[in-house]
Structure 1
Amino acid sequence: MQADEEVKVLLEYCKVPRSRSEMQGFMVLANRDYFRKNILNPLIKGGLLKLTIPDKPTSPKQKYYSEKR
């Protein structure tokens, strides 16, 4: 239940495009691989987060955003 609430807060935070490091810092998670595998990638695959540069998913300038609802 707590994880669901954290994801909702993160998605709200990402209504403005954010970098991976900004999101990771916001969630106070130090391990980049953990964040990417367990939080970021599932949100992208689930369609909850979108990429600002979808044709270059590994771009260092990549940012992520949630749809405004």
Structure 2
Amino acid sequence: MAMKNGRCRVHGSVCAGPRTPEGKARAQRSNWKHCRRSAQYIAMRRAIAQAGRDLRETMRIGELERRDAGR
């Protein structure tokens, strides 16, 4: 917890965050999501799910056409 003057109790300096471009990039990467929570993985799962829905719809339409042709 900070003291009233805004300085850290442990080391006495003010925490201002990263200032250099390298430090800012490192801070940004620290929040990077990986594995099943990454945007790329989520997009891939959505594309696969959509392909499955499209395939089921195509099969359903083909089944209806075959059923109607047999009448």
Instruction: Please classify the TM superposition score into its range, dividing by the shorter chain length.
Output: under 0.3
TM score, norm. by length of structure 1: 0.23
TM score, norm. by length of structure 2: 0.22
Tell me which structure has the larger Cα radius of gyration.
2
Q: Which structure carries more helix by proportion?
A: 2
Q: Which structure carries more strand by proportion?
A: 1
